[in-house]
Structure 1
Amino acid sequence: MLSEHTIATVKATAPILEQEGETLTRHFYQRMFTHNPEVTPFFNPANQQAGLQQKALAGAICAYAANIDNLEVLGNAVELIAQKHVSLQIQAQHYPIVGRHLLASISEILGEGATGEVLDAWAEAYGYLAHILVGREAQIYSEHAQAAGGWVGFRALNVVRKVEESEAITSFYLAPEVGQRLPDFKPGQYITVRVPTANGNTTMRNYSLSDKPGQPWYRISVKRETGTSAGTPDGYLSTFLHSTVSVGDNLEIAPPCGEFFLDVRTPPQRPLVLLSAGVGITPIMSMLASALETDPQRQIVFVHGCLNESSQAFKEAVDDLAARHPNLTTHYRYSDPNAQGAMLRSGASGGLIDVDLIESLLPERDGDFYFCGPQPFMAGIYHGLRAWGVPPAQVHFEFFGPKQALQ
């Protein structure tokens, strides 16, 4: 346990770190990549250039400092970080590298404010948090190793199908060698794809599994990012998959991870509400198929938003599920429904997804809500559900970016 003196010292630095947070984290990453370039492949360069990683880390440091005397409130954040670290194969030996550069950055940015007392307190606090994360990550690695068909590290899977789902999204079906199996996953989780880069290194990205568990393949459905600016994450790898990878090729894959999932083992007490926008449909599709299979009586509301029908992925699959399952209500919302002559049909409307639309489909406002999509969509749903007074335990979301952006 942390000493009372360390807790008091760290909490006292919280206001300073909040003021200097992003300056500190920018300096930290620059310092670490300069002195330990071997850790660079663990980080998304587009997120680095856009400042998203720096902002996320600054928020995490401030949250840790502010809640260091009540770490139970950070339990969900610890699980998110541990799952992300394991997905990228971060190991215990990487923690001293991060700690060394974090403490040095605190000293160099805060100057006279970084007294020996402050640095000692943060060294103890970092060591304590690292111990928690390393322990949890060891458990996840062990679970992967012991699972039927499981593995640790990266494994070559074969691309057995490549299917165009829309004008921007393509699905890749990944299967092991004949006679081998894949471990089960929880609907909503993701896998990590690692590919070589032009400079001889590798780069990794997480992609949600878009099919239900129990299939002889893993399916990822990847949106092709066409831009090359700092604000277009996954541009290199998504382009590589769309343009270079063909049926018969192998891809390096790490085991399924993620704390955003639908637990189909838990008896449902409320309707299930699945909301997505754009490529955020990928984990939601896995949840939808799994929920319909495991509990055909549960009321399910599925809402998806995109530009128009021509840009919509999985429409035929969702329509087919709705035709076969009377407990499923679907609605599509198109932000530009008239583009390319698209017509609004029954069960579709123009505009953006908001809580008014959700209420029209679920008048009682009570349900278990799962949602994924771009930031404006996420923020709107998040704040709308909070305004309704939906308990946090009933609100679940996957957001690829600093979560304080939703606040």
Structure 2
Amino acid sequence: MLREQTIQIIKSTVPVLEKHGVDITKRFYQLLFTGHPELLNIFNHANQSQGRQQTALANAVYAAAKYIDKLETILPVVKQIAHKHRSLGVKAEHYPIVGQTLLAAIKEVLGDAATEEILNAWAKAYGEIANVFISVESEMYQQSEEQKGGWSGFRAFRLERKVKESDVITSFYLVPQDGGAIAAFEPGQYVSIKMEIPGEQNTHIRQYSLSDAPGKSYYRISVKREDAMPGKPAGKVSVHLHEHVEHGDILWLSAPAGEFTLDRQDSRPVVLISGGVGLTPMVSMLNTLAESYPARLITFIHAAHNGNVHALRQQVEEIASRSPQISAYWCYAKPTDHDRRTNAFHKEGYIDLPWLRDVIPTQEASFYFCGPVPFMKTINSSLNQMGIAAADVHYEFFGPADNLEPANDVVD
């Protein structure tokens, strides 16, 4: 338990963290990887190079300082991060390393403003915060290992089938190499894949949503090939999966994780909205609803650049064709001539508020969405304008958490 004086010192640093948080976390990661290069086998290098991880950590530190006397307030965020830590293999012994490095970064960036009193207060506060994470993650590790078909660490899976779903997305059907049972999962969860790529010094770990309903003998992930773009390098893992992983090859998976899950207890209508490869957790949810909850009213909305890159469309349309309770709508930013000739889409351009009002049958529903960050900002803003209660809005970021302030632009 922190003393009141320590709490007040931490709270007094909130404005400083708001201003210098990203500078602190940038320096933190530089120091961390210089002193402990083995941790490069855990962290996503692409998120580091793009600055997303630094921003996410800065936001987490800021929130922890702001609510240091009410850490239960940020428990949902703690659980979300803890799921990722468990899936990556972050352990209790990593926390002292992180704490020492964070204090060193604070001292370097703030200089004389980081007094001994402030650093001592942060050392105590970090200890409290770390204990919360360690406790939550310990329970997750235990549950992951002890559940039926569960395991600890990474388990060998064999690629049973590889299916090209669009010009940029391919599905991988994975079964355990040992022939044993696999852990159940909730629709919306993900698995981590640990991969050693020839020519790469470090191991790479990436998280991919499970794109089919639970209860199967396999896990399916549907991966977008991330080619290089201006200012953005190619995705090393996604390109390797597309180009080099074939039938019979072995991939190492952690057990399913994630807080973005379908509420199975809610009997109200469901609206699933996705952009690009963000449809993968939505298809898992749709398949589960169609198989196990056929009475629920479901609206599935997907935005893509055009039909060439629209994955899993046939599967969704087949599901929708079997039930009057399910409606599916496609929005194409730049449809091809073939898309136009075949009337393959319902809206040209981007998803907007008027169109959402037209296709969503009721606002008394649970809303789930996922996609690129600008897309998610637009959807979130539209749902706010529609008056959807915050408790009925659920979303997932691919990669480090961001914020969903209204966007000035949208992407498919």
For normalisation by structure 1, the TM-score amounts to 0.95
Q: For residues 230 and 85 of structure 2, what CA distance do their matches in structure 1 show?
A: 26
Counterparts of 2:96 and 2:243 in 1: how far apart (Å)? 39
Partner of 2:152: 152
One-letter code of the match for 1:338? T
- Establish whether residue 205 from structure 1 lines up as the match of residue 203 from structure 2: no
1:272 paired with 2:273, answer no
Counterpart in the other structure of 1:358: 356
User: Which stretch of structure 1 is more off in the superposition, 252-261 or 58-67?
Assistant: 58-67
Cross-structure match for 2:311: 313
Q: What is the aligned partner in structure 1 of residue 372 from structure 2?
A: 374
Structure-to-structure mapping, 1:7-406, within 5 angstroms: 7-177=7-177, 179-197=179-197, 198-227=199-228, 231-232=232-233, 235-264=235-264, 266-268=265-267, 270-338=268-336, 342-343=340-341, 345=343, 348-406=346-404
**SS of the residue aligned with 2:256?**
strand
Which residue identity lines up with residue 394 of structure 2 in the other structure?
A: H
Structure 2: runs of 5+ lacking an equivalent: 406-412
Q: CA separation in 2, counterparts of 1:403 and 1:177?
A: 33
Query: 63-72 or 219-228: which moved more?
Result: 63-72
Q: What SS does structure 2 have at the residue aligned with 1:256? A: coil
Rounded to whole Å, the distance in 2 between the matches of 1:341 and 1:322 is 20
Conserved? CA contact 2:40–2:202, under 8 Å? no
Give the partner amino acid of 1:157. F
> Which amino acid in 1 is paired with 2:75?
G
- CA deviations on 1:334-361 (whole Å, 9 max, x unpaired) are 0011356644627622111233222112
Give the aligned CA root-mean-square deviation in angstroms. Answer: 1.6
Q: Distance in 2 between matches of 1:377 and 1:24?
A: 29
- What per-residue deviation string (whole Å, max 9, x for no partner) do you get for residues 137-166 of structure 1? 011111111111110001110000000000
Do the aligned residues in 2 keep the contact of 1:186 with 1:263 (CA within 8 Å)? no
d(CA) in 1 for partners of 2:160, 2:33: 37
Greater alpha carbon shift after TM alignment, 33-42 vs 65-74 = 65-74
1-side partners of 2:24 and 2:46: how far apart?
19
Does the CA-based 8 Å contact 1:211-1:286 persist in structure 2?
yes
Report the Cα distance in structure 2 between the residues aligned to 1:387 and 1:73, rounded to whole angstroms. 26
Contact (CA 8 Å) 2:307, 2:344: kept in 1 or not?
no
Alignment CA distance shift 1:27-1:73 (3 Å): same
Shift of 1:38: 1.1
Q: Scaled by the length of structure 2, what TM-score is found?
A: 0.94
Structure 1 residue 365: deviation in Å? 2.1
Q: Percent identity?
A: 45
Could you tell me how far apart the structure 2 residues matched to 1:244 and 1:120 are?
A: 50
Instruction: Give the Å deviation of 1:52.
Output: 1.0
Q: Structure 1's 23 and 33: CA in aligned 2 closer, same or farther, altered over 3 A?
A: same
Task: Give me the whole-angstrom Cα distance separating, in 2, the residues matched to 1:63 and 1:307.
Answer: 36
Q: Which amino acid aligns with 1:151?
A: W
CA distance, structure 2, for counterparts of residue 369 and residue 84 of structure 1: 23
Unaligned runs of 5+ in 1: none
Q: 3-state DSSP class of the match of 1:303?
A: strand
> Residue 73 of structure 2 aligns to which amino acid in structure 1?
V
Displacement of 1:323 in angstroms is 0.8
- Structure 1 pair 178/81, CA: closer, same or farther in 2 (3 Å)? closer
Taking a change above 3 Å as real, the CA distance of residues 177 and 401 of structure 1, as seen in their structure-2 partners, is closer
Rounded to whole Å, the distance in 1 between the matches of 2:361 and 2:160 is 44
One-letter amino acid of the counterpart of residue 213, structure 2:
K
Per the TM alignment, residue 180 of structure 1 is displaced from its structure 2 partner at its CA by 1.2
Report the AA paired with residue 373 of structure 1: G
Quick one: structure 1 residues 130 and 303, their matched pair in 2 at CA, closer, same or farther if it must change by over 3 Å? Answer: same
**Separation in 1, partners of 2:337, 2:123:** 56
Aligned-partner SS, 1:255 = coil
